[in-house]
Amino acid sequence: MSQNEKNTDPPASSGGALFNAAALVLADGTVFHGAGIGAIGDAVGEVCFNTSMTGYQEIITDPSYAGQIITFTFPHIGNVGTNDQDIETTTPAARGVVLRMDITQPSNWRATRHLDAWLKSHNLVGISGIDTRALTRRIRDGGPPNGVVAQAAPGAALDIDALIGKAKAFPGLEGMDLAKDVTCRQTHGWSEGAWSIGDGYAGAGTPKRKVVAIDYGCKRNILRCLTDAGCDVTVVPATATAEDVLRHEPDGIFLSNGPGDPAATGEYAVPVIRDLIDSGKPVFGICLGHQMLALALGCETEKMELGHRGANQPVKDFTTGKVEITSQNHGFRVKRESLPDSVEETHKSLFDGTLEGIRLKGRPVFSVQYHPEASPGPRDSHYLFRRFTDMIDGEAN
């Protein structure tokens, strides 16, 4: 047993019922024991944390979490159950989840399934009952470690040494192209708008503009926001060529969020983005799309020591002078010192000063690091979709 092992008591719920043995094992040998939730088995990935207080189902289904094990800092996860509407993709790409408290019975009129059953249905491994505050401090101080979350079969034990070996063998996210794992497989249309009580998801209405969205791991709510902004949206795979995009004769081009290292995905995406910029069409990027747009404009990206993941991140918009509270999920960033003279910084994090937005001077091309579509999170930044459509309309006039 590792000298770093924690929580050595056998897993049990607050009601005394025994759970399957489970552990979160880090590559340095640290072991957190707890109660198993979700699927039987183990999953390896980068261990990160998210500070959001709501929206756990949207977080778990965000494709940008591919290759990662999500630690929730808010203790009450699962209390509103799950449903078939609050998802950002059909098949979650996250590797597993880490919780503080046992999952309670859902208490919400929209709930259709217990979180534990939902995790099992997607073969997601999880653990509850560990000291997430200690784990979060560990990540905050030392950066996101590689780790394995594992749940033993009923009555079985975990091979901790083997799990440490798996954690050590994981190469990490730097240099990984994960967009190919989460992108759509073929071009398709999108016509679903925002959700509202009593009506569900709205229809497309009468679109005024044609937009092609390149899917590097796109969240559904981004596409809904584009639809609500009056766009006829066509989604193409991450590997689409400039010709594939332009043959749809779009009025604007959107570069989506996604997982992994932007420099790795950029090997095939950046040349395409450069050609799309040269076409003169308005271009808007979010998250990974922002990072790769920056690479196409001559900037550099780097892995962050910690990353931004949560729904309470303050950002200043230099264009308006306003501060907005944003939803974020990224572990890489654009290096401010690499911006060429042709590129202007438009947004800045008020947490740590990270560059959060850029625009190409004199051209209808811009991007932000954070998530204006929220889901979950505040809606302070929805104006960016209007900014995009205003650019499109300006180009059309």
Containing structural domain, residue 347: 179-396
Does 210 share its domain with 111?
no
pLDDT surpassing 50 at residue 361: yes
196 and 221 belong to one structural domain: yes
Q: Are residues 207 and 304 in the same domain?
A: yes
- Establish if 217 belongs to a structural domain: yes
Give catalytic status of residue 287 as yes or no: yes
Give the pLDDT confidence score for residue 1 in this predicted structure.
Answer: 38
Residue 174 included in any domain: no
pLDDT of residue 205: 80
- Of 48, 218, 287, 299, catalytic: 287
Same domain, 230 and 377: yes
**What pLDDT score was predicted for residue 397?**
52
Same domain for 108 and 233?
A: no
Q: Which of 118, 145, 169 is the last residue of a domain?
A: 169
- Residue 185 domain-assigned (yes or no): yes
What average pLDDT score do residues 90-94 get? 95
For residue 363, being part of any structural domain is answered with yes
* Shared-domain flag, residues 74 and 219: no
Query: Domain end: 138, 169, 200, which one?
Result: 169
Residues 358 and 314 in one domain: yes
Residue 232 pLDDT greater than 90, yes or no: yes
* Whole-number pLDDT of residue 16: 43
Q: Are residues 40 and 132 in the same domain?
A: yes
pLDDT of 3 above 60: no
With 0.85 as the threshold, say if the pTM is over it.
Answer: yes
pLDDT digits (tens, 9 = 90+) for 189-222: 999 988 888 887 888 788 999 999 999 999 999 9
Assess whether pLDDT exceeds 50 at residue 255.
Answer: yes
Residue 333 belongs to domain with CATH number: 3.40.50.880
Summarize pLDDT for 256-290 with one digit per residue, the tens: 999 999 999 999 999 999 999 999 999 999 999 99
Question: Is there a single domain that holds both residue 164 and residue 237?
Answer: no
pLDDT at 8 over 60: no
What pLDDT sits at residue 193?
86
Domain presence at residue 67: yes
Residues 214 and 85 in one domain: no
- The overall average pLDDT reported for the chain is 94
- Whether residue 358 is contained in a domain is answered as yes
- pLDDT score recorded for residue 9: 42
Q: Is there a single domain that holds both residue 232 and residue 163? A: no
* Whole-number pLDDT of residue 135: 98
Pick the range with the lowest mean pLDDT from 17-21, 28-32, 37-41, 312-316.
17-21
Q: Are residues 366 and 267 in the same domain?
A: yes
Instruction: Find residue 286's DSSP bridge partners.
Output: 368
242 is a domain residue:
yes
In this prediction, residue 13 carries a pLDDT of 44
Residue 52 above 70 pLDDT? yes
The answer to whether residue 321 is domain-embedded is yes
- Domain holding 45: CATH number? 3.50.30.20
Q: What is the mean pLDDT of residues 105-117?
A: 95
pLDDT tops 60 at residue 132:
yes
- Provide mean pLDDT across the span 162-180: 97
Domain C-terminal end among 169, 196, 224: 169
pLDDT of residue 2: 41
Residue 18: its pLDDT value, please?
A: 59
373 is a catalytic site residue:
yes
Q: Domain count of the chain?
A: 2
Catalytic residue flag (residue 345) = no
